[in-house]
Amino acid sequence: SDTVCSYASNEIAINWNAPLVYLAAAIEACQVSAGLAPSWLAK
């Protein structure tokens, strides 16, 4: 749960979510450059 004053729990969430978002964007970029864009991606 999110506790405003709890640095330990909030920092863990930031440290895990940022690399996962970066990885998802990198995978999507590779798919688009290979011509394998997901069907939900607007053209």
Domain boundaries, the chain: 1-43
Under 8 Å between Cβ of 39 and 31: no
Q: What is the pLDDT of residues 1-43, one digit of tens each?
A: 566 787 767 777 777 888 899 999 999 899 888 888 777 776 6
> The tokens of 1 are what?
């749960």
Do 41 and 32 form a contact (C-beta atoms < 8 A)?
yes
Task: Tell me what pLDDT residue 21 has.
Answer: 92
pTM, to two decimals: 0.58
Instruction: Taking the CA atoms of 9, 14, 15 and 17 in sequence, report the sign of the dihedral they define.
Output: positive
Any idea what DSSP says for residue 23? H
Q: What is the pLDDT of residue 2?
A: 64
Token couple for 23: 């990885």
